[in-house]
Structure 1
Amino acid sequence: MQNDELSFWRRAPGVARPTRRRTAFRTGLGALAVVLATAFATGSEAWAEANCAKPVYLTFDTGHMGVAPLVAEVLRRQDVRVTFFAAAERTQTEGDSLDNQWAPWWKARAAEGHEFASHTYDHAYWRGDVQGTAPRFRIQPSAGAFAGRQFTWDADQYCANIAKASERLQHVTGKKPLPLFRAPGGKTSARLLAVAKGCGYAHVGWSPAGFLGDELPSEKFSNEKLLAQALEHIRPGDILLAHLGIWSRKDPWAPAVLEPLIVGLKARGFCFQTLRQHPAYRDWIASHS
């Protein structure tokens, strides 16, 4: 026992002082309980993974974060784990999606078992390769102080921007992100992907049917149409893409579609997994974590 604990038992009248053997026994029971709880949770996850015959992989990119609380509520209610790809994008709360105001939200998602990965810190679009021996790229950030301007970045600069988002995610979540990234708009080149892999990040796109359409104009693509299309075409193994808020869409997608989509896919025998379980990425993740 610690000195302060011994002092308490000496001072407290009429209270039996615990023996060192009894204290050790209680400590052992506490440690055993933690081990058993961890083993149970791990076993439950392994069982769920082994019994998931029709997996889909729901992913969210950041955005203005206006629907982020709703998304979290739906995922919690439906007991679904997803993978979030984060950049420091402008939000409706006068900041960015990785700032201190949103840190508690991210930390809560980590506690729920979600996974995280980089979306490049400045939501930096690849606009083209620059000719030459050394890899260089035309890059246009859509977030941060230089949003809208075009730059030429070398391999180190591009890798640094991927890593910056990953490092910030680890800071706000307390959980190490996956060694994955998603290029904004999914725009890449073979050279860009090789550079990213060279600095430890594999790229994740999305399946054709997994494009859920939340960034399309609602005047042409109603929520009802997008839901019906997704439920008809999504297949096992698909990576699904949605966002935590799209500025341009007038009729937000998530409030109308997210939960009916999850319920509808479950009714069709689908189950939800994070990219940590995806067969195309799990070996990469295991070897780069």
Structure 2
Amino acid sequence: MASGRWITCGLSAAALAAAASLSWAAPPDCKPVYLTFDTGHMGVAPLIADVLARHEVKVTFFAANERTQAGDGSLGAHWAAWWRARAAEGHEFASHTHDHVYWRADLPGGRFRVQASAGPAQGQAQDWSAAQYCAEIGRAAQRLEDLTGRKPLPLFRAPGGKTSPAFLAATRACGYAHVGWSPAGFLGDELSSQTHPNERLLAQSLKNIRAGDVLVAHLGIWSRRDPWAPAVLEPLITGLKARGFCFRTLRDHPDFRGWIAARS
């Protein structure tokens, strides 16, 4: 999680609204950042898509089949049209494991203690081989390809960002590079809105984000009373653009583009 001093946002609401109304194109020397979204309850997913389209921002979605506010799981039939539309807009996709399976501990013999927060084994501690975890990454990747018609990136994000060196080596050996996030890229939508209100999160992000940062937010967090998205998303985008930043997908990230190109 990101940490740092809190400041008052330097952009007024009127200035941000005015910036949002202008057509914008990234200059060739812009400072790239990489906005990513993990799945969640999907309640704000349509609003997030609207903001991204309005500002011509492309992102990378890390998807798991999580419980949602409407319909079936986030990779279920109810959301199929939503995912197809994002593919048509040019976004990228990668696995977040199908059943949102957390790494919990390394075990002897190259095995891992894991625990799913979705699916039939939800809440149960299990001992898996590396091959089992890799298959779980692949399940979500295949489902994304079935939904979007596009091959996902050979990347994944472990739920909670929880990993170990042995775990990362094992998943990389089966073809998936792990993507976490930058310290300033933790946008705070998982935090309590009572202790971390949207205005504070926005101000911190606009102050601390730097070129090359990987940013992470979610398509809905069950526990947050005042949703982060889309309230913070639009002023964050316009505020970063006003500071000379531009948005790229992980396909263009210097740490991953060679890995992706070699597996395309």
Tell me if TM exceeds 0.5: yes
1:242 and 2:217 equivalent? Answer: yes
Alignment of structure 1 residues 155-166 onto 2, 5 Å: 155-166=130-141
1:208 and 2:183 equivalent? Answer: yes
Post-superposition Cα deviations, 1:27-85, rounded to whole Å, max 9, x if no partner, equal xxxxxxxxxxxxxxxxxxxxx89914300000000000000000000000000000000
User: Which residue does 2:105 correspond to in 1?
Assistant: 128
Q: In the aligned structure 2, how far is the partner of 1:251 from the partner of 1:183? A: 26
1:251 and 2:226 equivalent? Answer: yes
Post-superposition Cα deviations, 1:143-178, rounded to whole Å, max 9, x if no partner, equal 111111110000110000000000000000010000
Alignment of structure 1 residues 253-268 onto 2, 5 Å: 253-268=228-243
Q: In the aligned structure 2, how far is the partner of 1:185 from the partner of 1:157? A: 19
Structure 1: unaligned runs, 5 residues or longer: 1-47
Alignment of structure 1 residues 68-87 onto 2, 5 Å: 68-87=45-64
Question: Equivalent residue of 1:73, what SS?
Answer: helix
Letter in 1 for 2:76: D
Q: In the aligned structure 2, how far is the partner of 1:146 from the partner of 1:213? A: 28
Q: In the aligned structure 1, how far is the partner of 2:134 from the partner of 2:205? A: 34
User: Which residue does 1:96 correspond to in 2?
Assistant: 73
User: Which residue does 2:171 correspond to in 1?
Assistant: 196
Structure 1 length-normalised TM: 0.82
Structure 2 length-normalised TM: 0.89
User: Which residue does 2:201 correspond to in 1?
Assistant: 226
The alpha-carbon deviation at position 288 of structure 1 amounts to 1.2
Q: Which has the higher helix share?
A: 1
Comparing 89-98 and 162-171, the one that deviates more: 89-98
1:149 and 2:124 equivalent? Answer: yes
Do 2:26 and 2:246's aligned partners in 1 also have CA atoms closer than 8 Å?
Answer: no
The alpha-carbon deviation at position 95 of structure 1 amounts to 1.4
Question: Equivalent residue of 2:184, what SS?
Answer: coil
Q: In the aligned structure 2, how far is the partner of 1:143 from the partner of 1:52? A: 42
Do 1:52 and 1:271's aligned partners in 2 also have CA atoms closer than 8 Å?
Answer: no
Do 1:206 and 1:239's aligned partners in 2 also have CA atoms closer than 8 Å?
Answer: yes
Q: In the aligned structure 2, how far is the partner of 1:180 from the partner of 1:197? A: 9
* Structure label with greater radius of gyration: 1
Post-superposition Cα deviations, 1:117-153, rounded to whole Å, max 9, x if no partner, equal 0001110000000023xx1000000011111111000
Q: Which has the higher contact order (CA 8 A, sep 6+)?
A: 2
Name segments (4+ residues, structure 1) moved above 4 Å: none
The alpha-carbon deviation at position 267 of structure 1 amounts to 0.2
1:51 and 2:28 equivalent? Answer: yes
Question: Equivalent residue of 1:209, what SS?
Answer: helix
Letter in 2 for 1:223: N
Q: In the aligned structure 2, how far is the partner of 1:155 from the partner of 1:207? A: 26
Structure 2: unaligned runs, 5 residues or longer: 1-24
The root-mean-square deviation of aligned C-alpha atoms, in Å, is 1.1
Select which of 161, 176, 188 maps to 1:186: 161
The alpha-carbon deviation at position 198 of structure 1 amounts to 1.0
Letter in 1 for 2:49: A
Do 1:87 and 1:123's aligned partners in 2 also have CA atoms closer than 8 Å?
Answer: yes
Letter in 1 for 2:61: F
Q: In the aligned structure 1, how far is the partner of 2:29 from the partner of 2:185? A: 18
Letter in 2 for 1:127: R
Select which of 48, 65, 71 maps to 2:42: 65
Do 1:88 and 1:143's aligned partners in 2 also have CA atoms closer than 8 Å?
Answer: yes
Q: In the aligned structure 1, how far is the partner of 2:74 from the partner of 2:29? A: 32
